[in-house]
Chain A
């Protein structure tokens, strides 16, 4: 997991940069074909993966994992008991409540970013936005840091639309995610527009045109990696692993359990991608930016999230994948304790919640608490976002403190935080 060589390339298209870029592309898209048994590996032998369920817009902690019913800030949301004794969550999540002992809850995340874009950047990368460089998202770091043997499809995949998509940042565009906007059918642009005979004819002609263009500039053209990238794309188009993008093979009962909606299908695809060996998957659900009508808004989104999340964690466990997968359920910030005149809640980066589960995380733990009356702004036992990022990387076996040299020669740690020990199983 050596990152340092990757970015330390100031000269464009130097021989070294070409080699490293090829290597990095290879990490995201490995050859040759996957062994059938690889997908069946379970337990400690299995490479780790990260699934992030991204709740876009800023989910309210009070309507999800940290309700305060019967208080001045609680609103009409009631709470229900869960599989963790004494811990109650919002009534909208009965299915998750029954499986909550597989998770830990952080109720005291703190940040200084109350703007959607800045908050998203912080939560996805672990760093506050910095105009001097673009940080890579955790998904890109994981895809780059954990090789996936014989994976033919991209190692970092996002499912669903997101206004502020993850990127490979200074690790390079090769680590940008492969984005699937409509989950459950297939990936985008993976099927040729013409039949096999015409496609082959086109490719033959393209070979000749490439050869013609190389005359007098062979080495320069080679360094563009144009043909290499095209070849990788063609390999992807013909890979049997593409089946992981489709939910058609799944029993209808399973599809129904996840929910017949894009997010539910995305979660099902995420499980299939983990089984295939994909290292990082992000599934987006929007609709949490409830400046007005907060309570109905969260109830409707919870009706989508609850079955999808509960089925996902249940299936990961049943298939012995949960121990090798980190599951993170999070948005860019929380929402204000106070309720505005439009029955909405506004942005609140002080003391918001998330769920974590899976590889190396303790189960059934609750970290921090917020003031039930909303008077105290700072939560008890606050957790910085950078520390959460470090914890996730640490649990996935990545040296979070590893220093990478960015393309302009600036040394950057993968995370500037420290793991939250009380969340770590081996602490």
Chain B
């Protein structure tokens, strides 16, 4: 009796701690799941019809061009290919297997439009787009403080995109907001230019001209622009719009007494913007004051308010078509991986009045007419026929005709995945479930740190530099032999390869599923035949090695590495 009691006590001593550990672990696991529940957005047929109408106008424009040039456009791509493009362009990843299965079970003819609409309501999209846009507004520079500020700025921008805040208002807030970088995240557009407690107005003028107007007015910083009509004094005026801004204990604020003063070097007629401009009283005969100014459309400049507020009003003024054209060009670049006009921030001057045959005018006007809704603009672009064309075309078989076909947008262009897209696609392909903000905290944390490591080795292209350069040899090495690649491909209970190799009933099914996970399509018969040796040669019954090999093969293929 006593023995039984002791045995029971001993068992209790061993089991109870285990039960407690399991209980705590379960509670932690439950607590770390996102409290946000998936909300399927109600798809508005009216909104989709309106987007279709706008896309039709773009189609007419391009059709007219193709006819004029005697170019036959590529065939329409299959829906899976377009779905992959939409995911890659707007969320920086590939669709998960569960999404692909759901998409395949949706048999309605307008399924692409609805899935596009749904993705643009998904946080994955606003978070990814915010990262892309933030690069143009505040760069991808390193440094401890700018990293925190960039994160704060990017989160704010993501929220605005998700809420569909009119984009012109978003831009105005960036340029003119006052306050602390923590409490007013928009103000980090200005704090990015803080160096040693001072604000570099040249940098901000450069950002405004490039990211918001699609003009390289900053090329006139040191001398008159070599090609365009911008002068050095025009750039100085633009920079002077930020001269009132200063850093204080309450963050960025405007001091109306502050003016920009410039050195006048004794040796030349040129000037440089370097001087201390705290007090006009400090000006000597070697300095001159510069009044805030703009390089064109002076009549659009408001006169009440701080010089930053006036600048913000001028940038987004309804008549300032450079703003909407720049927005349209960058959005086209996000969707296609290549902007309509390159470089993305050096657009030609608009014509006197908007032209129906100018795509940027067309999209820009449509963007304005729909409350500067950035997500809608992307939806329009992704609904165009050009976006849904195949990336194959008989003209791409010959070196003589490729440029002609591609320059006319008669085929979907091949563009290299940006580092964000590459990591997003690899991580998503590595698991079968959708990775989003509803994913487990552990999954999101792993992805966060993997991204940092990966980008450190893979590089982080500046906006506009991604799609038009081949990958480098170190990048190929990271993909082939890197730690991340090894971890994602390795077959275990959590990875796609482990689950596919153990749960699929035959090799055909395994090959098909790996293709879906990596390439968002099924293999052709010829491909399956070519791949089969991976499964049959010397691997015995252990299919996980063959599945790993297939994963490696597909994630290193041009089809995976290039948006198509």
| A residues neighboring B (CB under 8 Å) | 10-15, 21, 25, 28-29, 112, 114-118, 131-132, 134, 154, 163-164, 172-174, 176, 178-179, 188-194, 197-198, 201-202, 204-206, 208-210, 212-213, 215-221, 223-230, 232-233, 236-237, 347, 407-410
Binds A, one of B149-157, B172-180, B291-299, B544-552: B544-552
Whether the Cβ atoms of B402 and A115 lie closer than 8 Å is: no
Tell me if B320 is interfacial: C-beta within 8 Å of chain A. no
Determine the residue in chain B with the shortest Cβ distance to A14.
Answer: B403
Give 8 A-B pairs besides A132-B218, A232-B473 with Cβ atoms closer than 8 angstroms. Answer: A116-B143, A208-B531, A213-B559, A215-B392, A218-B397, A224-B416, A226-B558, A226-B562
Task: Give the size range of B's interface with the partner.
Answer: 35 or more
User: Are B556 and A230 closer than 8 Å at their CB atoms?
Assistant: yes
Cβ of A229 and Cβ of B476 under 8 Å apart? yes
> Are B557 and A189 touching (Cβ within 8 A)?
no
CB-CB < 8 A to A226: which residues of B? 470-471, 558, 561-562
Contacts of A220 in B (CB 8 A): 391, 396, 402, 406, 413-414
- The reply on B246 being an interface residue by CB < 8 A is no
Contact B477 A236 (CB under 8 A): yes
A355 to chain B, nearest CB (A): 27
B473 pairs with A217, CB closer than 8 A: no
* A190-B477, A226-B561, A232-B473 given; A163·B143 CB < 8 A: yes
A410 pairs with B143, CB closer than 8 A:
no
Check: B40 CB closer than 8 A to any chain A CB.
Answer: no
Cα A174 to Cα B342 with chains together (Å): 21
Most chain B beta carbons < 10 A, residue from A114, A188, A216: A216
- Considering only residues 476-490 of chain B, those with a C-beta below 8 Å from chain A are 476-478, 480-482, 485-486, 489
Contact among B219, B416, B473, B524 with A212 in the assembled complex (CB-CB below 8 Å) = B524
User: Does B538 lie at the interface of the complex (its beta carbon under 8 Å from any beta carbon of A)?
Assistant: yes
CA distance A213 to B474 in the complex (A): 23
- Cβ 8 A contact of B481, one of A15, A191, A228: A191
B219: chain A residues within 8 A (beta carbon): 132, 410
B533 CB contacts on chain A under 8 angstroms: 201, 204-205
Which of B45-53, B84-92, B378-386, B461-469 is the contact stretch? B461-469
Residue B506 lies at the interface, judged by CB distance under 8 Å to chain A: no
Once the chains are docked, how many angstroms separate the CA of A173 from the CA of B466?
Answer: 10
Nearest 7 A/B pairs, CB to CB? A216-B392, A12-B468, A225-B470, A189-B477, A208-B530, A233-B476, A131-B206
Q: A12-B342, A190-B481 are in contact. Are A112 and B274 (CB under 8 A)?
A: yes
A111 CB to closest chain B CB, in angstroms?
A: 13
Supposing A206-B557, A220-B391 touch, asked if A12 and B207 sit within 8 A by C-beta, the answer is no
Asked whether B226 is an interface residue with its Cβ less than 8 Å from the other chain, the reply is yes
Give B338's nearest chain A residue, CB to CB. A12
A11 to B472 alpha-carbon distance, docked (Å): 19
B496 to chain A minimum Cβ distance, whole angstroms, is 17
Given A29-B473, A163-B143, check contact A224 B481 (CB 8 Å). no
CB neighbours of A217 from chain B (8 A): 391-393, 396-397, 414, 564
